[in-house]
Structure formats: C-alpha cells, structure tokens
Amino acid sequence: METPSQDIIFIVDDSRTNLEYILTFLTDAGFSVLAFQSGEELIEKINNMMPNIILLDVVMSGIDGFETCKILKKTEATKDIPVIFMTGLSDTLDKIKGLSLGAVDYITKPIQPEEVLARINVHLRLQKEIIQRTQAQASLEKLTAELEQRVEERTAELTDSLTKLSNAKFQLIQSEKMSSLGELVAGVAHEINNPLNFITGNMALLEEYFTEITAHLQLYQKKFPDPGYEILDHGEDIELNYMIKDLPSMIASMKLGLDRIREISLSLRNFSRADQSKKITINIHECIDSTLMILQHRIKASPERPEIKIIKDYGKLPLVNCYPGPMNQVFMNLFANAIDAFDEQINRADYLNKIHHLDQKITITTCEIPDYGISIKIADNGPGIAEELRSKIFDPFITSKSRGQGTGLGLSIARSIIVEKHGGLLECYSKVNEGTEFTIELPK
C-alpha cells in the first residue's frame, strides 16, 4: 500500500468518537490528518492549510455537511478539493443530493477502515491525475496561444515587408523610367542646342549679307537702268522685286521659329533637371509650364478633336523647396490622366455628343497659402470619376484603362511624392459628367 505522507486529509464530524477513530487509522496509514468538529470550524480554518481530500459528515449540529459542501464548492480556493461524505443514512436520496452538490464519493457508517482507505486512495490518485492534466492543458493552451501570437506577428511582418517591397519596386521602376526619360530629354535638348546656336549665329550674318547684296543690286540698277532684255526678263521670271520685299519678313519669321525652338529646349532642360536627389527652391509655375510644353503634342488639335484649352489662373507664388524631377512627374501624371479622360470621352461619344464635348479644358489655379506654402488646383471638365473608383484612386494598380494602356500607378506614385517626399497634401474631387479636380498643397 502507498504511504503518501505528504497527503493531508481533513475530517469533519461532530462526534468526537468517530473523529478519533478515523484519525487514528488514517494516521496509522501514513496520512497527515486534521480533525474538525463542525462545518463552521472547517470553513474558518481551511484557508490556513489546504487538504488533498475532505471527509465530511452529513448530519451535524450547526451547518450540516451539505451546506458546508456548498460553501466549499462556491469558494474559488476550495472548489476543487474532493469531498467524500460520511453518512449513516442508507437513504439513496441523500447520497444523490451529496453527489449533486459536487462530492466525489460517500462512505456509509459504520466506518470500515479498509473501505475508507481504498476510496481515499482512489480519489487521491484521480485528483492528482486531474491536476496533472489541468496543468498540461493549461501549458498546452499557453503554448498554442504563444504560437498563434507568433504566427500572427510573423504574418503581419511578412505582409508589411511584402507591401513595402512591392511599393518600392514600382517606385523604382517608375523613377527608373522617369530618369531614363529625363536623360533622353536632356540629351535631346543638349543636341538641339549646337545647331540652334549655329543657325542663330548665321541668321544674323544672313540678314546682314542680304541687306548688303540688296543694296549692291540696287546700286547696279541705278547705274545701269537699261541692262538689256536678258537680265530684265530673268528679273521678272524670278519675281526679283517681290523676293527683295519678302525676304526680310521671311527672316523675321525664321527668327521667331528659332526663339520658339529655344523655348522648347529650355523647357526640356527644365523638365529633365538631372539632379533629382536634392531639394532646391523652384518656381512651380516653371515646372507646370515645362510639363505642359512636353505634353503639347497631346494638347493640340488632332483629327478627332480641337485643341484642349489650357487656362492658367496663376497667383503670385513664393518659391518652394522641392525635388523638381519628381514634382514634374506629378504634374505629368495629372495632366496625362486628364488628357486620357478627354480622349476616352471623345472615343465613346457619338457625333452629336462629340460636338458637345468640344469645349475640353484644363484649368490650373495656383495661390499662396499664408504661413504654409502653396496650393495648386488642376481641374478638367472631363467625364469625372464615379465615387466607387474615386475613393481608392490613390491605391496602386487601380485603373479603368485597358491592359497596356494604364498601370494604375500614376496617382499612387503622385501621392507618395507629394505626401511622403514633400510632406504635402494631394486630394481628388470629382463629379460624374462634370469633371475632376486634383488639389495639391505644398509646404514652403
């Protein structure tokens, strides 16, 4: 037989004789035993030392065994201690009541020591198993919770880095595209410059030579008013007088053309400012103008539609500190989107509607925001954007265009340039069939 000396047994009985009898044989069996003469005494003292099992008499003066058991089961600290009732009654109802109150077993009086020991041992073993299982289950639950927590954390980390990675990738692709476009444009602008200077320089000489040759010719005509048929006929054939009169205006318009090429080349160089990695103070109007110049081929009239009107309502702006390359990229995206929308509107419309849509215009309004910086509004009177699309328009890959036409990245990149790179604000307002307005606010 086991001798679990560490196991503590409480006996509660109002009969001293019973108490002593049980106490003796349990102590002999190797248990530590404490005896109580009433339920009240047990309840009062149980918190000082917790037993492994309680033998509880049913019929007692004061609170009886059932009441005592109820109190034990209601108390958090004692509710799991196994209770075995001792009953002199062979009343089945009482036994059932005891078990339903949470007792694990009952012993019938008169007490048989062997029976009591057997039952106590069974319940002690059960109790230990229960405790072990509860502990195992608790640590399993803890482990599962920890695991779930870790999985959740890792998933969140992974999702986060995936998003960051794909955003970074697309930004990279886009800025790579922009910088190769910038290089190309800068290269073209540079290449144009040499012939331009050469033509401009020669144009001055051409004008001078022409004036002198004309003067010389007129001198001839004066000295020899009658040079003979051959020369007079030739002069008439080639319309010499008209040529002499027309050439100065030809030269003047060529000079205008040269000025225009010089402007374009300057815009190209402005647009492609190679140094994208540094903030500099710039005039935003220059950025907008050079972007519009680059897009000129899409703004001017085409066989499908007349020119898109560009209305500039420019306020007086302070210089702002920003990255010119990315800033141009933002304007490029916003203007290109408006023009795309206009084109699509024309493609969709029938003839009558086409005429209706002929008044396509983009209005650019700028003004200073006191104590902050500047505001730029780019509005078109195009087809507008349905609210469902508008609410997610700045998310990557949101596009209404067919594959190959749109990537859905333009606005998400514009947003990250304005908001993340410049600490500014980019918002979109739109009404279907009325138009769309993008508002940019930039700190100085």
Ligand X SMILES: Nc1ncnc2c1ncn2[C@@H]1O[C@H](COP(=O)(O)OP(=O)(O)O)[C@@H](O)[C@H]1O
Residues that bind ligand X (CB under 6 A): 333, 337-338, 341, 380, 382-383, 385, 393, 398-401, 406-412, 436
Q: For the CB of residue 361, give the shortest distance to ligand X in the complex, in Å.
A: 12
| Helices (runs of H) and strands (runs of E) counted in the chain | 13, 12
Choose the contact partner of 345 out of ligand X, Mg ion, none; CB within 5 to 8 A by kind: none
CA-to-CA distance for 274 and 268, rounded, in angstroms? 11
Residue numbers 47-106 binding Mg ion by CB under 5 A: none
Instruction: Decide whether 317 or 364 has the Cβ nearer to Mg ion.
Output: 364
CA-to-CA distance for 294 and 267, rounded, in angstroms? 8
Q: For the CB of residue 250, give the shortest distance to Mg ion in the complex, in Å.
A: 43
Instruction: Decide whether 37 or 328 has the Cβ nearer to Mg ion.
Output: 328
- Which residue is nearest to ligand X, using beta carbons? 410
Rg (CA), the chain: 49
Question: How close are the terminal C-alpha atoms of the chain, in Å?
Answer: 91
CA-to-CA distance for 66 and 85, rounded, in angstroms? 9
Tell me whether the omega of the peptide bond preceding residue 227 falls within 30 degrees of 0, making it cis: no
Instruction: Decide whether 189 or 409 has the Cβ nearer to Mg ion.
Output: 409
Q: For the CB of residue 394, give the shortest distance to ligand X in the complex, in Å.
A: 8
Q: For the CB of residue 364, give the shortest distance to ligand X in the complex, in Å.
A: 13
Instruction: Decide whether 185 or 385 has the Cβ nearer to ligand X.
Output: 385
- What are the C-alpha distances in Å from 85 to residues 17, 55, 365? 17, 6, 92
Choose the contact partner of 380 out of ligand X, Mg ion, none; CB within 5 to 8 A by kind: ligand X
424, 414 Cβ separation under 8 angstroms: no
The binding track of 403-422 with respect to Mg ion, each residue x by CB under 5 A or -, is -------x------------
Instruction: Decide whether 22 or 338 has the Cβ nearer to ligand X.
Output: 338
Residue numbers 315-344 binding Mg ion by CB under 5 A: 337
32, 51 Cβ separation under 8 angstroms: no
Choose the contact partner of 407 out of ligand X, Mg ion, none; CB within 5 to 8 A by kind: ligand X
Exposed (0-12), middle (13-18) or buried (19+): which is 265, by Cβ within 10 Å? Answer: middle
Q: Residues interacting with Mg ion, by CB under 5 A?
A: 337, 410
